[in-house]
A and B are shown apart, each in its own frame.
Chain A
Amino acid sequence: MFQQWKKKYWLAVLLLTLCSSSSTAYAQLNIFACEPEWAALARTLTGDAARVYSATTAQQDPHHIQARPSLIAKVRRADMLVCTGAELEVGWLPLLLRKSGNAKIQPGQVAYFIATDHVSLLEKPTVLDRSLGDIHAAGNPHIHLDPYRVQQVAVALVSSLVIIDPSNKNNYLENLRIFTLEWREAISQWEKQTERLRGKRIVVSHNSWIYLERWLGLERLAVLEPRPGIAPSSSHLGKLLTQLKLRPADMILHASYQNDKSALWLSKKTGLPVVGLAFSPADKENLIQWFDRLLQQLLSAES
């Protein structure tokens, strides 16, 4: 028993000495983003005024996250939190916030910024029925795939930034002005490029593309895995195949971070091309570069 106590004591001493040497004081704002798309947006809008950290990468599923000590450390030190909301992070963000004990970024504070609070959501279920599956009660959260909604989020984000860090107000407003100009330019270009995709019929492996579908005018014929996380039943797959025989699709879409097994299976059965799309921006990529890449992936599969 004494041995055990001694061990605990030494560990505590070791931990305390190590962490006391690592505290830093910067005038920069620390922003904790839940997903890389909001990290990229925050980086563009703050420039040098903030250090931005993303909890997940483009290769990760934002629904799930493994607890690492550095993650909690980052939240403890954050001055602002930028996340998607609409239950996307419901599995880990509340735990992380509770564990962090950081009063500045708790729900209700200005620095607790939830992107889906600032746009209208699609696929809001009219009847909440548990039997319908893992549907988000608030609506589909993957709004970053619609550039118009991203623009709305950018405006809201800057109004919050101005409240949190008024000394950099002019910076933020100027960054927003430049972003808006470039973004509008990019949108009109993308819409020209993707004109020929309008009306294309797609099959998706998960229902996470609704905003992109609406924006580009894609028609979704079917979802391969109707319930996220649960393998489709054989009768569902059978129905899918007959349905596609009667009314063929043009391509099968899936997020490149996800397993493409089911998409490849369907492709083998139907001969349709499979397109893996970058669901989120990569490290250091800004939103315009990422959308460029995403749309190129879509266009190259179709041609």
Chain B
Amino acid sequence: MSFEGLDFAILGPAFFVGLLILSTHVPLGQEVLKRGIIFIDLAIAQIAGLGVIAAYRFGWDIHGWEVQLVALNTALIAAVALNTLEKHYQEFQEALIGAIFVLAATASILILSGNPHGGESLKDLLVGQILWITWEQLLPTALVTGFIFLILFSFRQRLNHLGFYLVFALAITNSVQLIGVYLVFASLIIPALGSIGSKNTLLSAYLIGAAGYGLGLILSSLLDLPSGAVIVWCIAIMALLSTLVRGISDKSHDSSPMS
């Protein structure tokens, strides 16, 4: 046990960024789950990374916001492509997403064999670490989150397939760089999964996610373990607990009229 990491200045920004990301990823994750395309985030993140290293390969010397622009544009192109695929080959959608992920990942390896410097950028894009986040970095994330939130909740009914893919690409490109692929995947899928069958699925998914981030950050301090990985496990435990509790209360509900 070590208590020195339990410092609000250390864990605070990480917790708030977690809440910001959850606010958009939980509804997106429910949509992803409904459509049965759960690996789409891995595919889009990998393609965004591929775009950046391809830019290096063609000799562009890009930094900072230019990298973001390239990553976002590639992710949006990927979104359009995935949308087209869904229209024409819906029954193979999940398999196609998997194949695209592998192709994008191996294409990066092939490009990198001639230019390893892009490797650092690819790594930066795919393995963000939640603890390195500072308060100053929260502002752009908050703006992106607000924008996505607005679109999701005001145009949700009118949001067509393409619209969903584009919003999703924007959300993923932003979040993966901050907290890494594993945590993004967990934030999307696990709360959505754990809240299936509850009365207010959105609220319970939010609670599962928030509790998972809070508990995960505290535990990673106490046990001195890498935060991202501990948070993933805590979200999963919270989802499992909520499913169990709901199962028990459902049973007591079912049996009450009999007695």
Dominant SS among interface residues on chain A: helix
B225 pairs with A7, CB closer than 8 A: no
Confirm or deny: B112 has a beta carbon within 8 angstroms of a beta carbon on chain A. Answer: yes
Annotate A67-93 by CB proximity to B: 1 below 8 A, 0 otherwise.
111101110110000000000000110
In the bound complex, what is the Cα–Cα distance between A8 and B11 (angstroms)?
Answer: 12
Check if B65 is an interface residue, CB within 8 A of chain A. Answer: no
Verify A70–B5 contact, CB threshold 8 A: yes
When the two chains form their complex, are residues B116 and A69 in contact, meaning their CB atoms are under 8 A apart? no
Supposing A7-B214, A76-B7 touch, asked if A99 and B131 sit within 8 A by C-beta, the answer is yes
Interchain CA distance A183-B29 in the complex, whole Å: 60
Q: Does A16 contact B (CB under 8 A)?
A: yes
Asked whether A11 and B214 contact (CB < 8 A) given A67-B227, A131-B114, A134-B116, the answer is yes
Query: From residue 18 to 59 of chain A, which have CB atoms closer than 8 A to chain B?
Result: 18-19, 21-22
Contact across chains for B220 and A69 when beta carbons are under 8 A apart: yes
Q: Give the Cβ gap from A231 to chain B, nearest Cβ, in Å.
A: 8
Whether, in the assembled complex, A188 has its beta carbon less than 8 Å from a beta carbon of chain B, the answer is no
- Across the two chains, which residue of chain B brings its CB closest to A66? B226
In the assembly, what is the distance between CA of A95 and CA of B177, in Å?
A: 14
Are the C-beta atoms of A70 and B119 separated by less than 8 Å?
no
Q: Is residue B9 contacting chain A, with contact meaning CB distance below 8 A?
A: yes
Tell me the complex Cα distance, A21–B2, Å. 12
A229 an interface residue at 8 Å Cβ cutoff?
yes
Residues in chain A near residue B90, CB distance under 8 A: none
A181 at interface, CB cutoff 8 A: no
- Does B3 lie within 8 Å of A18, measured CB to CB? yes
Which A residue sits closest to B229, measured CB to CB? A66
A12 at the interface (CB under 8 A from B): yes
- A233: CB under 8 A from chain B? yes
Q: Count B-side interface residues using an 8 Å CB cutoff.
A: 46
Q: Are B203 and A18 in contact (CB under 8 A)?
A: no
Whether A230 contacts B132 in the complex (CB less than 8 A), given A15-B6, A22-B4, A130-B117, comes out as no
B210 and A68 contacting across the interface, CB-CB below 8 Å? no
B4 adjacent to A73 (CB under 8 Å): yes
Nearest CB of chain A from residue B25's CB, rounded to whole Å: 14
How far is A11 from B234 in the complex, measured between Cα atoms in Å? Answer: 15
B77 proximal to A (CB < 8 A): no
A229–B119 contact, CB under 8 A?
A: yes
Could you tell me if A15 and B11 are in contact, using CB atoms closer than 8 angstroms? yes
The reply to whether B9 and A101 contact each other, CB–CB distance below 8 Å, is yes
B15 touches A18 (CB 8 A): no
In the complex, chain B residues 129-152 whose Cβ is within 8 Å of any chain A Cβ = 129-134
Q: Is A14 an interface residue (CB 8 A)?
A: yes
Q: A4-B207, A15-B6, A67-B227 are in contact. Are A95 and B115 (CB under 8 A)?
A: no
The 30 listed contacts between A and B (C-beta, < 8 Å) are: A7-B214, A8-B210, A11-B15, A12-B12, A14-B218, A15-B8, A15-B218, A22-B4, A22-B6, A67-B131, A67-B226, A68-B5, A68-B131, A68-B220, A68-B225, A69-B10, A70-B2, A70-B221, A73-B7, A76-B9, A91-B120, A91-B123, A92-B132, A95-B129, A98-B132, A99-B10, A133-B117, A134-B116, A134-B117, A229-B116
